[in-house]
Structure 1
Amino acid sequence: MVPGLDAEGGMQMLNVVFWDVDGTLADTEMDGHRPAFNRAFQELGLPFHWNREEYARRLEIPGGLRRVQQACQEVGHPISDELLEQLRERKRIHYGERIAAGHVGWRPGVRRLLHALKSAGIASWIVTSSGRASVNALLAASRDEQDWFSGIVTADDVQRGKPAPDLYQLAIKRAAVEPTHALAIEDSLAGLESARAAGLACLLTPSPWETGLPARYGEAVAVLNHLGDPDHTSTVIAGPACTEGVVTVKYLQALLEGG
């Protein structure tokens, strides 16, 4: 396919942006999910307390419950499905409390770009390996942002989370969009692999704990430290220059056209 053209030779106009949540929309991991897990571990008598360094290492495994299962295997502490479900529910409660208390902040440029996309008539969808309850907690604390998303696809909707393409494939189907007319925004290697496997161009705003991601930057259409705001401009790590200092609708369209 010629860069910038779709299968029928037309320009690849951007119709949908698919947003990851944890580490992309908001800095949820270290001050949201991590302490919520630690409180749940303590309540249920599990022998774990994840500091920042260990949790960063655990984030190489997509999905919170998969991280717990791996940790249990490492120490020879079997965990039943019943206990795992109890942990999931307790952790969800504590995560929601931390969100409501303001411990989790949105990443630079996210609100600005969401507003710009909606004004331009371009749909935004959430596509995440987290569960629906975690997404709802984040959106409930930011009422304006709830109206900016046309749909949500979570781990509750598929058998396999990222890096498998299932989440994005389902989002593409529900959004009724061709992959060539959509773009994913991700922060992780698992997210990049998932988006690319579904045929999507992917813009990366990497999380600092993604140590294996730099070697794969070439698979993204661009890599920036964040999306940028007028008083907090972004830096291009790889890809086309962002001359305005912030990611705009025009910049996203140019990325899509550039193939």
Structure 2
Amino acid sequence: MPLLLLKVNRLSAVFWDVDGTLADTEMDGHRPAFNLAFKELDLPLVWNEALYNRLLTIPGGLRRVKFHAEACGVHLSQEQLEQVRDRKCVHYLERVRQGHVHLRPGVKRLLQELSRAGVQQWIVTSSGSASVMALLEQIKMQIPSFDGVVTSDEVASGKPAPDGYLLALERSGANSAASLAVEDSAAGLSAARAAGLRCLLTPSPWDVHALRDSGDEAAAVLDHLGEPGQPATVLSGPSCQEGAVTLKYLEFLLSVPDR
């Protein structure tokens, strides 16, 4: 559909997922941090990359731990789960400080463009507050400040439930029709759509479900947000002529009739 035939809507807010969307946090950040926590606490659990790929279909780190432990016949008390969480956060922060976690292509560029344009930017994540704040502390010199953060600690149910997005919409005062979510997973896409938000999907390499199940639910699906010399590939949705997701492209997504 030609852009000139559409009335382009002004974008008021963008809600960002963190793990796999803002940054490549999973394989070289969270996974080894969990393994170090398991070892310290003498738990018979080890997550290699293939196993972690499968576990990532479960939103939320402690939910993954509980699920895998039970599958291995290991019962963990709430106290043990909290110990895993606390030790994992320590190791994750150290991994971030050591430079193992990097922003995904185009994230810094788009964050800066949206900030200059006065668009609200919020984080909505299934991760806990400690992990999110650890990452933000380390990358704060690279990116603009976010207007707010909603983590799994603040809602009854994480993604794919819409609770986090609904809370972010309430706090931000943003109109869902003039807002958009950026996600990397099938669970995140479902959460955004259930909250009445259009969603730009940049799937993580490990989430095959995000590509397989996105169908008509995502406003667009791209391999990443695009950088000069590293153009994004549109996998579904309107073409991205600049080879990079921009404010103009996001506002165009708001203007295209919802599928």
TM-score bin (small chain): over 0.9
SS at match of 1:144: coil
Q: Could you list the runs of 5+ residues in structure 2 that have no partner in the other structure?
A: none
SS at match of 2:249: helix
RMSD over equivalenced CA pairs, Å? 1.4
Matched, 1:107 2:97: no
User: For this pair of structures, how many residues does the alignment match?
Assistant: 251
Q: Which residue of 1 aligns with 2:29?
A: 32
Cα distance in 2, alignment partners of residues 134 and 29 from structure 1? 12
Matched, 1:49 2:66: no
Aligned residue type for 2:145: W
Matched, 1:158 2:142: no
Confirm or deny: 8 A CA contact 1:114 1:148 kept in the other structure. Answer: no
SS at match of 1:219: coil
Shift of 1:145: 4.8
Higher mean displacement: 186-195 or 136-145: 136-145
Matched, 1:216 2:209: no
Confirm or deny: 8 A CA contact 2:219 2:253 kept in the other structure. Answer: yes
Cα distance in 2, alignment partners of residues 25 and 213 from structure 1? 16
TM-superposition CA deviations, 1:62-90 (whole Å, max 9, x none): 00000111111111111011111111100
Confirm or deny: 8 A CA contact 1:139 1:145 kept in the other structure. Answer: no
Residue 223 to residue 135, structure 1, CA distance change in 2 (3 Å): same
Cα distance in 2, alignment partners of residues 158 and 145 from structure 1? 29
Q: Could you list the runs of 5+ residues in structure 1 that have no partner in the other structure?
A: 5-9
Cα distance in 1, alignment partners of residues 246 and 76 from structure 2? 46
Cα distance in 2, alignment partners of residues 18 and 247 from structure 1? 15
Aligned residue type for 2:235: I
Cα distance in 2, alignment partners of residues 146 and 128 from structure 1? 18
Q: Which residue of 2 aligns with 1:117?
A: 114
- TM-score when scaled to structure 1? 0.94
Give the alignment of 1:166-205 within 5 angstroms: 166-205=163-202
Higher mean displacement: 71-80 or 91-100: 71-80
Q: Which residue of 1 aligns with 2:130?
A: 133
Higher mean displacement: 11-20 or 234-243: 11-20
